[in-house]
């Protein structure tokens, strides 16, 4: 019997993922989060997106913890 291995699609974070890009100052992590947020908002008719739904989309691209997602979101909206 052959068992198919499920590949982990989410990419491990590398140190360079936390370095800001010179074009707009966003890191790769921030860019992925904003991209997923934009897609989810369009699908929901420009309504607010629950954080849990956003986290589910982000982990398809990145291996990130819920706490780290919260910290990045807080930094993006200007808290702290």
Question: Among residues 7, 55, 9, which one has the least CA distance to residue 32?
Answer: 55
**pTM for the whole structure:** 0.77
More confident residue, 20 or 48: 48
Residue 80 confidence (pLDDT): 65
Report pLDDT digits (tens) over 46-71. 889 999 999 999 999 999 999 999 99
Contact predicate 51/76, CB 8 Å: no
| pLDDT reported for residue 6 | 41
What residue segments make up the domains of the chain, in order of their start? 15-77
Of all residues in the chain, what percent carry a pLDDT higher than 90? 57
Burial of residue 38 (CB within 10 Å: 0-12, 13-18, 19+) is: exposed
């Amino acid at each position: 019997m052959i068992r198919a291995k499920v590949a982990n699609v989410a990419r491990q974070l590398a140190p360079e993922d936390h370095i800001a890009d010179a074009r707009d100052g966003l890191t790769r992590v921030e860019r992925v989060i904003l991209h997923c947020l934009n897609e989810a908002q369009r699908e929901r008719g420009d309504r607010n997106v629950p954080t849990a739904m956003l986290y589910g989309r982000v982990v398809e691209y990145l291996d990130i913890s819920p706490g780290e997602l919260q910290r990045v979101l807080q930094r993006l909206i200007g808290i702290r």
